[in-house]
A and B are shown apart, each in its own frame.
Chain A
Amino acid sequence: MLNDLSLKDLTSNTPALIAVIMLALLLFTAVVGPFLMPYDPRVMDLDSLKQPPSTAHVFGTDSKGRDILSRVVYGARISLSVGLVASALSLCIGVFFGLIAGYFGGTVDAFFSQVFDVFLAFPSLLLAIGISAVMPAGLTSAMLAITLVGWAGFARLVRGITLTLREQPYVEASRSLGATPARILYKHILPNALPLILVAGSLRVGGFILLEAALSFLGLGVQPPTPTWGSMISLNRAYITSAPWMVIFPGLAISITVISFNILGDFLRDTLDPRMQV
């Protein structure tokens, strides 16, 4: 199925093409951007407090005189790394348990499915709040909280795919040749489930980035003075009427990032598997 994806699909779909270009720019910004900025995102400049956008400070400055553009650029690093790391981790955990539950069935499946359901029974942000509140706030706790919130959704999906794949003739054939479950899962089921797993993953990255932003908005994510998009909005909320740019630009950054991921996810889903539901 992955081979069906061609560059022509992408260039003929304008929103998806724009989304990919945006994400490439964003990745570039996150990796290289902080080195190119003329200002240090953490250094306060008491001579230029609350400056509106100008040529010196394109996005303006905040209540402590820090350059908003530099902080937004630095924040891209935090948001993207938390979003991507949490997606990768929760995918790995989810795929592992989903394969086991779906392949072995019976009591094993009943037990694991119950565990998935318990994790899915929490509203995601509330569980993330509970988990990150008991840990020292920071990058690791945000990643861990989002991973623990996200894995069960992937696990349930992979379990469902595995349930259908394990009945396929090629799996049967491999089993009758004496292949171990581990080999069957790794060599036969995983590769065939991969496109769907990737689609699900790409559809969730945006949600994970929103979750990270919400956690740092609530003061549970990466701590000041390190800038994150969410914390920039919460720290500058009080100045929304007098200096709206302090809040507008970080919010735009989050929105554009998440929109791009969601459009990309929709595109991958439509191209790879038109039957899959929202």
Chain B
Amino acid sequence: MALYILKRILLFIPTLLGITLITFILMQSLPGDPALGMAGERANPETIALIRAELGQDRPLPVQYFGYLKLLAGGELGRSYYTNRKVADDLLQKFPNTLKLALAAMFCASILGIGLGVFAASKRGTNWDRFITLLSVGGISIPVFWLGLALMLLFAFYLRWLPPSGMGNGNPLYLILPAATLGTFSLSYIVRVTRSSMLETLSQPYVAAARAKGLSEPKVVLKHALKNSLIPVVTLIGLDLGSYLNGAVLTETIFGWDGLGRYALDGILKRDYPVIMGVVLFGAMIFVTMNLLVDISYHFLDPRVRVKGKP
């Protein structure tokens, strides 16, 4: 057990190095001096000196890369060209807002997705099933940013039920449209996976046995089949954080939600490279860390994985 976790964490290190290598290469491909590119011309002389000492153009590239790692280890992601604030500080400040939005979206998508998936599977081959399947294909096909605008037009401007954008100082009404927009993609995947996993479980002999002993269909589905169908679904939900980070960039842009995504868009519009690279790096770090945690927690939760994972 401890060995497995240790192995998993050791395997994590090359991934982290690889991620930083990619962002390093991207920084190097920027026109001009990479040290100035990271510090910004308006940064104070000490910051520029610090970053130049590590990324100076006179040093060989591998040495510059180690300097870059050293800067990252010290929490130095560079300064925004425009506000001259530390990108690392900004990221930490914006992240809770994105997290709040993502958790709300994830919660709704999971509940609704599992519900619809189970319903579709239990009505297999009927029009209900076809309709839900079609909806779920639609959900992964519609561009997030367009869905957001359409929902905003309908619920905020035509029906006037919900506020169109902003954060409303924590008023939950402001969370509904962005969370619905952000959750739709994941919801659709959850429906698909729940449905197919449920169909597989329903064909197992023990389900037939439960039916044969006269249990009602809802009882068979909810009490016996559901528990065993949920394993792939829970994995999917845990590993799907990447899609929320992708969606957050677009959703927050539409709804003026003050999180990482909008921060990234501001960076893109102003060509504020330290900001863009900071979000890219931070997003990847969160994504892989989450995957690691999901993996390890599986080891605790599912005894079957534990047996298989034994060397």
Chain A contacts to B: CB under 8 angstroms: 15, 114-115, 117-119, 121-127, 129-131, 133-135, 206, 210, 213-214, 217-220, 230, 233-234, 237, 240-241, 244, 247-248, 250-251, 254-255, 258-259, 261-263, 266, 277-278
Contacts and interface: CB of A to CB of B under 8 A. Distances in A.
Interface stretch (B59-67, B121-129, B134-142): B134-142
A262 B249 contact: no
Contacts of B280: 122, 126-127, 129-130
A134 B18 contact: no
Most buried by A among B27, B189, B254: B254
Given A122-B280, A126-B245, A240 B141 contact: no
Given A122-B283, A218-B265, 14 more contacts: A118-B18, A118-B19, A121-B19, A123-B243, A123-B284, A126-B283, A134-B27, A218-B268, A220-B268, A233-B143, A244-B153, A254-B142, A259-B137, A278-B193
A219 to B, nearest CB: 6
B105 interface: no
Contacts of B157: 240-241
Interface stretch (B45-53, B107-115, B219-227, B269-277): B269-277
B119 interface: no
A247 B149 contact: yes
Contacts, number: 149
Interface in B278-306: 279-280, 283-284, 287-288, 291
Contact of A123 (B27, B143, B246): B246
B144 interface: yes
Given A133-B268, A230-B143, A122 B287 contact: yes
Contacts of A266: 137
Given A114-B14, A114-B15, A259-B137, A123 B146 contact: no
A254 B269 contact: no
A22 to B, nearest CB: 12
Contact of B264 (A129, A233, A259, A263): A129
A278 B283 contact: no
Contacts of B143: 210, 213-214, 217, 230, 233, 251, 254-255, 258
Nearest to B264: A129
B20 to A, nearest CB: 10
A98 B192 CA distance: 27
Contact of A206 (B141, B271, B279): B141
Nearest to A125: B246
Closest 5 CB pairs of A and B: A118-B18, A251-B146, A125-B246, A258-B141, A130-B280
Nearest to A258: B141
A118 B138 CA distance: 30
B141 A130 contact: no
Contacts of B97: none
A75 B170 CA distance: 39
17 contacts: A121-B18, A122-B283, A123-B242, A126-B246, A129-B276, A129-B279, A133-B268, A134-B30, A206-B140, A214-B143, A217-B143, A219-B269, A247-B149, A251-B143, A255-B146, A258-B142, A278-B189
A233 B149 contact: yes
Interface in B217-248: 242-243, 245-246
Contacts of A218: 249-250, 253, 265, 268
Nearest to A124: B246
Interface in B161-193: 189, 192-193
A129 B249 contact: yes
Contacts of A241: 153, 157
A27 to B, nearest CB: 18
A220 B245 CA distance: 18
A133 B146 contact: no
Most buried by A among B19, B143, B271: B143
A117 B291 CA distance: 12
Given A114-B14, A114-B15, A255-B142, A125 B276 contact: no
A129 B143 CA distance: 16
Contacts of A206: 140-141
Contacts of A115: 18
B81 to A, nearest CB: 13
B250 A130 contact: no
Nearest to B232: A277
B139 to A, nearest CB: 10
B250 A214 contact: yes
Contact of B149 (A117, A121, A210, A240): A240
Contacts of B23: 130
B100 to A, nearest CB: 18
